[in-house]
Amino acid sequence: MRFLVIGGTAFMGPQVVRRLASRGHDVAVFHRGKTKAVLPPGVKEFLGDRRKLGEHAETLRKFRPDVVVDMMLVTEADARGLMTVFADVARRVVAVSSIDAVKAYGVLLGTEAGPPVPAPFDEDTPVREKLFPYRGKAPGMDDYDKVLVERECLAHPGLPAAVLRLPMVYGPGDRQHRLHELLRRFDAGRAAIALDGSIAPWRGCRGYVENVAEAIALAAEDSRSAGRVYNVAEEPTLEERAWVAAVAAAAEWKGRVVEVPSEKLPEPLRAGMNTSQHLWPSTARIRRELGYRETVGFEEGLKRTVAWERANPPAARPEQAETDAAEEKILRETGGL
Ligand SMILES: NC(=O)c1ccc[n+]([C@@H]2O[C@H](COP(=O)([O-])OP(=O)(O)OC[C@H]3O[C@@H](n4cnc5c(N)ncnc54)[C@H](OP(=O)(O)O)[C@@H]3O)[C@@H](O)[C@H]2O)c1
């Protein structure tokens, strides 16, 4: 089969491309050329801005992809452009979405009214009603909304889409460095760290990059994914205190995690969310319908991530020193140190 991956050169993308290429498929990526990845020989590269997809339509359509995997759907306009350009060319689209599309995420952020959505929830859980969750909060994210992306892709009358709702993804290449804040404190030789007591029992879904890429590649290859929405995450969705303990074990850190009431903590260490709402999806559907299984075990994925994070730390932030001092003070006061 022929696959066009929009994006595909930064974090999860290369893992998806490698999987598809290694299974004998013909693969091309389309991106701006700002990020570079080592892709398998034979993978074609088309350069351009997906915000101007129409300008590249002729070239991309000539490639005649059977399936287009879109790793970079940010806005409703992105989704509309995708479906228009490939409507009479491709057989299917895989739209990479996020668990942030669901109402439970809005309740967690405090932007959505109502009691917590019962968890675990499946793919039929309601989506957010309040749109544009990051407007005014993150550069370039004003028009980001996976609710609109999903709606646009699933509504197309002639081109079926599979929607994959991804969890928080960690692993080598993670530009968000999701494990760094824990590792930085472990590796400073701390005897203890503080954990906001309100987040300790909270469950938030996660996935290791190679496993998430496996789910994307599987949905791309399997025609049964057409028209379906799938949650992707590792099982079980751990409580935060168990997640911190697992990262500590992978990092071989032997200190203590002290649960401290939110109000006693410096602002950067507070959860700042409505943690009575778990972000805890069921992933039974993709496992049952497509036979999805993780290919890398949980401990092994964490070990690989710890090694990469240690070798590739992000730039230090000067304000960290103040937070560290405040954390140490509270640990002394509570007897954690
Ligand atoms: N990371 C998480 O925890 C997480 C969680 C939930 C959902 N997701 C979703 O996962 C997807 C991103 O995954 P990833 O970072 O692993 O993807 P990726 O495909 O590895 O990297 C992003 C790609 O998009 C390209 N790109 C960026 N802007 C572009 C533009 N305007 N036109 C063309 N290409 C463009 C980048 O290359 P150039 O820079 O060279 O253009 C790069 O190839 C997103 O849809 C995100 O919402 C991520």
Summarize pLDDT for 150-196 with one digit per residue, the tens. 999 999 999 999 999 999 999 999 999 999 999 999 999 999 999 99
Q: Report the DSSP beta bridge partners of residue 195.
A: 259
Ligand 1 near 31 CB (within 6 A): yes
Among protein residues, the one with the nearest Cα to ligand 1's atom 23 is 7
Do the Cβ atoms of 196 and 269 come closer than 8 Å? Answer: yes
Length of the chain: 337
**Integer angstrom CA distances of residue 325 from 24, 194, 260, 329:** 54, 12, 15, 6
Q: What CA–CA distance (Å, rounded) separates 294 from 214?
A: 7
Ligand 1 near 39 CB (within 6 A): no
Q: What CA–CA distance (Å, rounded) separates 92 from 159?
A: 6
Please tell me the predicted confidence (pLDDT) of residue 131: 98
Mean pLDDT for all residues in the chain: 97
**Which numbered atom of ligand 1 lies nearest the CA of 33?**
40
Q: What CA–CA distance (Å, rounded) separates 282 from 231?
A: 7
Residue 155 parent element (H or E): helix 146-155
Q: What's the total number of domains in the chain?
A: 1
Core vs surface per residue 249-283: b (16+ CB within 10 A) or e: ebbebeeebbbbeeebbeeebbbebbbebbbbbbb
Please tell me the predicted confidence (pLDDT) of residue 334: 87
DSSP 187: H
* Angle formed at CA 234 by CA 229 and CA 238, multiple of 5 degrees: 120
Among protein residues, the one with the nearest Cα to ligand 1's atom 21 is 10
Ligand 1 near 71 CB (within 6 A): yes
CB atoms within 10 A of CB 321: 10
Ligand 1 near 168 CB (within 6 A): yes
Give me ligand 1 centre to Cα 8, in Å: 7
User: Which pTM was predicted?
Assistant: 0.98
Ligand 1 near 25 CB (within 6 A): no
Give me ligand 1 centre to Cα 11, in Å: 7
Q: What CATH number is given to the structural domain containing 97?
A: 3.40.50.720
Give me ligand 1 centre to Cα 109, in Å: 23
Ligand 1 near 166 CB (within 6 A): yes
Average pLDDT over residues 31-58: 97
Q: Which domain holds residue 304?
A: 2-333
Give me ligand 1 centre to Cα 140, in Å: 13
**Which numbered atom of ligand 1 lies nearest the CA of 176?**
1
**Which numbered atom of ligand 1 lies nearest the CA of 169?**
3
Among protein residues, the one with the nearest Cα to ligand 1's atom 2 is 169
DSSP 117: P
Ligand 1 near 18 CB (within 6 A): no
Ligand 1 near 131 CB (within 6 A): no
Q: Which long-range contacts (CB under 8 A, 24 or more apart) does 150-153 make?
A: 150/95, 150/97, 150/101, 150/229, 151/76, 152/76, 152/79, 152/80, 152/83, 153/73, 153/79, 153/82, 153/83, 153/93, 153/95
> Above 90 in pLDDT, residue 92?
yes
Among protein residues, the one with the nearest Cα to ligand 1's atom 25 is 7
Ligand 1 near 228 CB (within 6 A): no
Please tell me the predicted confidence (pLDDT) of residue 114: 87
Amino acid of residue 91: R
Ligand 1 near 96 CB (within 6 A): yes
Using a 10 angstrom Cβ sphere, with 0-12 exposed, 13-18 middle and 19 or more buried, the burial of residue 27 is: buried
**Integer angstrom CA distances of residue 328 from 243, 301, 311:** 22, 30, 26
DSSP 251-303: TT---EEEEE-GGGS-GGGS--S-TTS-B-B--HHHHHHH----SS-HHHHHH
Residue-wise pLDDT for 279-301, tens only, equals: 999 999 999 999 999 999 999 99
* Angle formed at CA 175 by CA 174 and CA 178, multiple of 5 degrees: 60
Please tell me the predicted confidence (pLDDT) of residue 265: 95
Q: What CA–CA distance (Å, rounded) separates 259 from 199?
A: 9
Please tell me the predicted confidence (pLDDT) of residue 81: 98
Residue 335 pLDDT class (50, 70, 90 cuts): confident
Among protein residues, the one with the nearest Cα to ligand 1's atom 12 is 71
Taking alpha carbons only, the member of 102, 325, 124 closest to residue 205 is 102
